Amino acid sequence: MGRPKKKKADMKEHIVTVRFSEKEYQKIKSDSLKAGLSISDYIRNQIRKGKVIAKYEIVTNDETKTKLAEEYHKIGINLNQIAHHLNNGGIVNDRLISAIKKNISELSKLRRELK
């Protein structure tokens, strides 16, 4: 007695060929074994349910863009001055550390405003 015939809806009609490096194939093979699936079923599941990378578009008005550009410009100038000071043999002192912390704080604040 042979195995039962598949329903028409369950039959796989299309073949897609994909090439993997040896390292990629071994990882897929290992993951499919851990999941208790054939390599084909594992790849099908990953395609259907795998991670999807979503792209988000941030919409702002011109005033906000201008404000952000000005703030980033100011912070960039400050960081450039700090780098220039250190590249010319300047020493790290409390004032310099304070300036760096202030710039980091301002960048964090701008990031929170964007969220």
Q: Pick the closest to residue 96 from 82, 108, 75 (CA basis).
A: 82
pTM above 0.85, yes or no: no
| C-alpha 32: how far from chain center | 25
Block residue for tokens 């304070």: 98
Residue extents of the structural domains in the chain: 15-49, 62-114
Per residue in 15-74, pLDDT (tens digit) is 889 899 999 999 989 888 888 889 988 888 888 887 545 566 666 677 877 888 888 888
Predicted pLDDT of residue 114: 66
Predicted pLDDT of residue 55: 60
Block residue for tokens 């054939």: 38
Per residue in 62-90, pLDDT (tens digit) is 787 788 888 888 888 888 888 888 888 88
Predicted pLDDT of residue 51: 59
